[in-house]
Amino acid sequence: MIYRAQRLMHAYNGSAALEVGELIVPKGSRFAVVGPNGSGKTTLMEILVGLLKPTTGDVWFLDRPMRLPLSKELRKRVSYVAQQPFPLPGTVLSNVMLALGPGRAHDDAKKMALGWLERLGVERLARRQERTLSVGQLRLAALARAAARQAPLLVLDEPFAFVDETFEGALHEVLDEHHQAGGTIVMTSPRPKSVEGWATDILELG
């Protein structure tokens, strides 16, 4: 089991932003959280990756009670792409190279990083500073970093928002390959129809 949560609730200024009675994310699943804007999807993602402590409720991650901050060991197990990724200092290529981790020769890391950018169809962004990217370009750069880390768990908050149809197919291929290799994907979408036929498990909010 990747995640298990019970009686989960989070409130902002005394107003409940998220309420989930039970959540179970099996290992190797393609788990979709769907609901309209304001239903708590982003709040739930931030709880699952250890960025936010729920107001009430219990969360288990990899069969362990979740304690914040997450240990280094657990952080290595998950790659998270926020709905609005924050631009990192440096170029898109250098940041994907960093995501690959230490222990590789520079030329090998560069080749691998370019490979991930090519797979998502954004190799032309390699030399661009992340702070100069559009919202959609920045999301694809963040997705390339997340994929390059090859963590067993991908948590993606509305990964197809602001992404041109041209790149959707490439992104689906990367996600399908991750799943076929035994990885788990948790993603959000405002539209239930967008995950039909893709998700093995669906949680509806709102």
Q: Quick one: what percent of the chain has pLDDT higher than 90? A: 80
191 pLDDT band, cuts 50/70/90, is confident
User: Which pLDDT score, from 0 to 100, does residue 136 have?
Assistant: 86
184 pLDDT band, cuts 50/70/90, is very high
Following DSSP, what letter does each residue of 83-142 receive, concatenated? SSPPPPSSBHHHHHHHHT-SSS-HHHHHHHHHHHHHHTT-GGGTTSBGGGS-HHHHHHHH
What is the model's pTM? Answer: 0.93
pLDDT digits (tens, 9 = 90+) for 170-183: 888 999 999 999 99
User: Which pLDDT score, from 0 to 100, does residue 194 have?
Assistant: 82
pLDDT digits (tens, 9 = 90+) for 134-149: 988 998 999 999 999 9
Token match 């926020």: residue? 82
E strand or H helix at 173: helix 165-180
Tell me: pLDDT of 162 over 80. Answer: no
